[in-house]
Structure 1
């Protein structure tokens, strides 16, 4: 298939483009129009061709033709979304609508988030859990999901929504660059790039972590499986939880370095957020194979230390 990947130079988009190219697909990676001259690689994996465009300027988007689209371009920081909610709705909702109108493809895989669920009491969280986003980010992704799914129901395309929890790990020496997230920040502290790690409350909040390459494999399976007129929603996660304290201890074990912490006041957040990914396992045969916490941390640490020289 000929496939367009939006956000292809980003952390997850890079891993998805890499997997698609390895599976034999012809892959174009969308590069923002304001990113300067389009280099031949443009920060993309081998086998992915850069194309210029901006989701908020629909007239300039590539028309293809494409057999499939993996849509990963988005604004993703929960706390920032409270400060700039309109920016998040413009990028995540209007950008998605513009893509659907401009790029006609038979198959679409949309990257969404567990933030659409809010903080449900039922754990692990199945896809049947009612959506109740608690942030502008989560609300914007839910609205974009609905646009994608209603578009698919017209028969214009087949669509799969993948709701992810916490993504981590490294491919091709590229680790998660967002140090607002726990594992990248803990590793930055271990590397001496930051003096300490802020921990909200007692450090007992439990979250799960999925290797970015395992997530990329789910995108390939979803794109290859969906047919026009279908719309599906899948959670994608490991289902294996670890408390903040446990993650910090694992970082110290893997790196052999201390991670000093500073305790901050507790925030109103769910004590546990875990994924029920049984549906994608049953329907698509997907399984996480690289998502053990030590492997995630080791690969991210290696990428960080190599980047630091």
Structure 2
């Protein structure tokens, strides 16, 4: 892999939680950034030019890609529970939107992409921590749709027209997280008095890997700096490598905020007891590492952002 110089980068999903952070990280690294939005600017950082296009509108995407050197593709649907209720919508947006983007990139002559994928594609392997060599066992329509999008990107790269990096992200947390379904915002909402109690499944011992949004955003910068050659698609895990249980999150949030956090224990559901990343390949090849992904910093930043 070779380092890549300053580029003009289109960030799809620039209005999103991670998208806004990636825009900021790319700018801090000296790249020119353009945000792609579906309609109007909402969370795109001030001063960043925006272009509007629907992911399924290849013609509009081709126009938005003019003058662009590379794409960070983050736009898509992400909520697991919603994917069970409307799986076709997830395939339409996550797979169809990616295919439309790849077609538009070909028409515009843009041959570099970094794709935001999900570690949930691995399913629930017994082997922990999880490395890139594990087989895929996506457990829900959302994960299947992201796996299919990865396959489309790899197939397009194999034609020799594309250099691609796929980042399989673990649980992003910290900062101003707008998703009330994720565990860290739910815990902090109880601490702030916005919610009466935290409902959790089982005894709270399930362990997950949390990566700070700022560290996750810098992985996209690192991926652009270490793109493979045309015809290649490479994949990396992006996580902290540390496991934290729900009970540990609650205890640390209570300590940091000085607030009691009431918990309601619901019946246990079938879920893996431990899911932790092995991100050693990203450390070695992308020269990426975490700086702020300890759980104290994640919770402190989330609390400060409320």
TM-score range with shorter-chain normalisation? over 0.9
Match of 1:265 in 2: 267
- CA separation in 2, counterparts of 1:239 and 1:46? 33
Matches of residues 159-174 of structure 1 in structure 2 within 5 Å? Answer: 159-170=164-175
In the alignment of these two chains, the number of paired residues is: 294
When the two chains are superposed, the root-mean-square deviation of aligned CA atoms in Å is: 1.1
Match of 1:307 in 2: none
- CA separation in 2, counterparts of 1:139 and 1:152? 20
Offset, 1:78: 0.9
Offset, 1:47: 4.4
Aligned equivalent of 1:70, options 69, 72, 75: 72
Contact 1:160-1:222 at 8 Å conserved across structures: yes
Unaligned runs of 5+ in 2: 1-6
Matches of residues 1-309 of structure 1 in structure 2 within 5 Å? Answer: 1-32=7-38, 35=39, 38=40, 42-61=42-61, 62-104=64-106, 105-170=110-175, 175-226=176-227, 227-304=229-306
TM-score of the superposed pair, with normalisation by structure 1: 0.93
Offset, 1:63: 2.9
Q: Which runs of 4+ in 1 moved over 6 A?
A: none
- Secondary structure of the 2:23 match is helix
Contact 1:162-1:233 at 8 Å conserved across structures: yes
TM-score of the superposed pair, with normalisation by structure 2: 0.94
- CA separation in 2, counterparts of 1:106 and 1:56? 19
Unaligned runs of 5+ in 1: 305-309
- Secondary structure of the 2:275 match is coil
- Secondary structure of the 2:160 match is coil
- Secondary structure of the 1:300 match is helix
Offset, 1:19: 0.7
Offset, 1:229: 1.9
